Amino acid sequence: MGSRKEADYLPTMLGSTVSGVLARFPFHPIDTCKSRLQTQLWLSENSRTHKIYYGLPDAARTIWKREGLRGLYRGFGPTAFGSAPASCIYFTTYELSKDFLTRKVGGEGDAFHVHFLSGLTAETVSCVLWVPIDVVKERMQIQRVPDPKSVKPGSLY
């Protein structure tokens, strides 16, 4: 099997960059609700441990009523900014690893060990970028607006 040229990876790089952002857009509100559900007792009001949300639908309704669309998409900026390069790095590293392993280790490009090691390599490399961005996103998602009426346009809340 011959070596691929750099230009051969361009469709993978472009496709993964665009899809990385587009795939996260419809599911970000669900991720925000999940983050709030996971941290609700830790961030409870008045130092009391009581539930703020009772399941995913209730979390979505409560956040929508209290904070609107902005609340459901809190943290999407870092997600959009980071998911494009992280997805590009993941899929390009996967393809490069797969081609490298097929040439060096031998076997077919669809052999289990080639896919396994390529996926492991790609995940490790992309996590170097994605994990810090994900931490920022999660911290933004769990922020609560003290009083939605007091929030001024353009503020971080």
The answer to whether 41 touches 14, Cβ cutoff 8 Å, is no
More confident residue, 15 or 46: 15
Give the CA angle between residues 120, 137, 26 to the nearest 5°. 85
Query: What pLDDT was estimated at residue 10?
Result: 87
pTM of the model: 0.70
Query: What pLDDT was estimated at residue 110?
Result: 76
The closest of 37, 56, 129, 49 to 92, measured between CA atoms, is 129
3-state SS of 28-41 is HHHHHHHHHHHHCC
Query: What pLDDT was estimated at residue 43?
Result: 47
Confidence tier at 1 by pLDDT (50, 70, 90):
very low
Per-residue model confidence as pLDDT tens digits over 32-85: 999 999 887 654 556 656 778 889 999 999 999 999 999 999 999 888 888 889
Query: What pLDDT was estimated at residue 107?
Result: 67
Q: Is 137 exposed, middle or buried (0-12, 13-18, 19+ CB in 10 A)?
A: buried
Cα distance between residue 122 and residue 134, in whole Å: 17
Per-residue model confidence as pLDDT tens digits over 84-140: 899 999 999 999 999 999 888 776 667 888 999 999 999 999 999 889 988 888 888
